[in-house]
């Protein structure tokens, strides 16, 4: 349950106290900023001795407005806890990256093995045969990498992924506990300190991490 802001443990008053979550959410602002960019355009720059115009590139500055999001310095100090993602096993990542490469290799490979089937007039193979080869190439180049990806995730790295899911679950619970604590945090702008509602411990915003209890 999220408690309302309580008295500041330093000045014992509530009049300058705000919830950290509200301060954080209001710490973003978007403004439009003027951006200049220079492009070179070809233009007549003079004339040569024969009277013909000469061309050269002339810098031209264009102005445009772009939206830029800012965060106040205080808001950045009061960031909520971030959920850590447990990465895939390295070996699995490498194999999954190789799958598209395998797909391309399987697709391109047979095409170079059977050049007589493709585009050379004279041999004139049966259309059905060409289609069969193309279909089997597509099937191989999609099917095999998909199969490899599936086996990698479900078979070769099954144990590693079960362990990873457990870690992720643990990390998720830890993050939720930190988030519940963060939602109780308050900030007193008179004392420039952060504290948890109903707690006597107060720290400067730079040391927000010290407010979390590991329980």
Q: Which residues bind Zn ion (CB under 5 A)?
A: 8, 10-11, 188, 190-191
Q: Which is nearer to Zn ion, 8 or 77 (CB)?
A: 8
Min dist CB 8 to Zn ion, Å, is 3
Residue number closest to Zn ion, CB atom = 8
Min dist CB 6 to Zn ion, Å, is 11
Instruction: Quote the CA–CA distance of 87 and 122 in Å, as a whole number.
Output: 55
**Local structure of residue 154 (DSSP, 8 states):** I
Min dist CB 197 to Zn ion, Å, is 13
Tokens standing for residue 78: 């009061």
Q: Which is nearer to Zn ion, 179 or 191 (CB)?
A: 191
Q: Which is nearer to Zn ion, 4 or 119 (CB)?
A: 4
Instruction: Quote the CA–CA distance of 179 and 181 in Å, as a whole number.
Output: 5
Q: Which is nearer to Zn ion, 178 or 188 (CB)?
A: 188
Hey, which residues does 53 pair with through a beta bridge? Answer: 47
Tell me the CA distances in angstroms from 38 to 45, 61, 86, 135, one per residue in order.
Answer: 18, 4, 44, 50
Min dist CB 188 to Zn ion, Å, is 3
Min dist CB 93 to Zn ion, Å, is 49
Burial 180-195 (b: 16+ CB within 10 A, else e): eebbbbbbbeebebbb
Q: Which is nearer to Zn ion, 171 or 199 (CB)?
A: 199
């Amino acid at each position: 349950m999220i408690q309302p802001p309580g008295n500041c443990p330093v000045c014992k008053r509530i009049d300058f106290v705000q919830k950290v979550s509200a301060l954080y959410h209001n710490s973003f602002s978007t403004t439009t900023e003027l951006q200049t960019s220079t492009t070179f355009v070809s233009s007549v720059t003079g004339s040569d001795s024969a009277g013909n115009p000469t061309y050269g590139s002339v810098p031209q500055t264009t102005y445009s407005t772009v939206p830029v999001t800012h965060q106040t310095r205080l808001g950045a100090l009061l960031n909520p806890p971030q959920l850590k993602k447990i990465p895939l096993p390295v070996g699995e990542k490498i194999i999954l990256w190789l799958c598209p490469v395998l797909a391309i290799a399987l697709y391109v490979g047979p095409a170079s093995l059977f050049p007589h089937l493709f585009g050379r007039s004279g041999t004139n193979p049966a259309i059905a045969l060409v289609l069969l080869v193309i279909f089997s190439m597509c099937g191989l180049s999609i099917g095999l990498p998909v199969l490899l990806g599936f086996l990698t995730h479900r078979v070769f790295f099954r144990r590693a992924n079960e362990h990873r899911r457990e870690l992720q679950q643990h990390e998720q619970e830890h993050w939720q506990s930190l988030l519940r604590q963060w939602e109780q945090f308050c900030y007193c702008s008179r004392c420039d300190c952060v504290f948890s509602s109903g707690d006597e411990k107060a720290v400067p915003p730079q040391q927000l991490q010290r407010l979390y209890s590991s329980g």
